[in-house]
Amino acid sequence: MDLELIVTVSAIVAAVAVTGWIVAIERREPVPGEPRLFPTTPVLFLAIVVIVVALAHLVTLVTGSPHTGRFG
């Protein structure tokens, strides 16, 4: 396997794991009177962006042609 493919798949797996962890934190019942000290929403947003970008990169690795976009 190509090293770039391994790194891309690893990034997808890690981002999905972080997304699952953050969703589990969000679903927990908050303790009354104690604020959450960890900002979960920005981390969740960043993990989802990493998943989307890595999936787009994975498509380019599998097909062999670079993604040119709508106007390419």
Residue 58 makes CB contacts below 8 A (sequence gap 6+) with: 5, 8, 9, 12
Provide the pLDDT for residue 13.
Answer: 97
pLDDT tens-place string over residues 33-57: 998 888 899 999 999 999 999 999 9
Q: How confident is the model over 1-41, as pLDDT tens digits?
A: 689 899 999 999 999 999 999 999 999 998 899 988 888 99
Please give the Cα distance from 9 to 63 (Å, whole number). Answer: 15
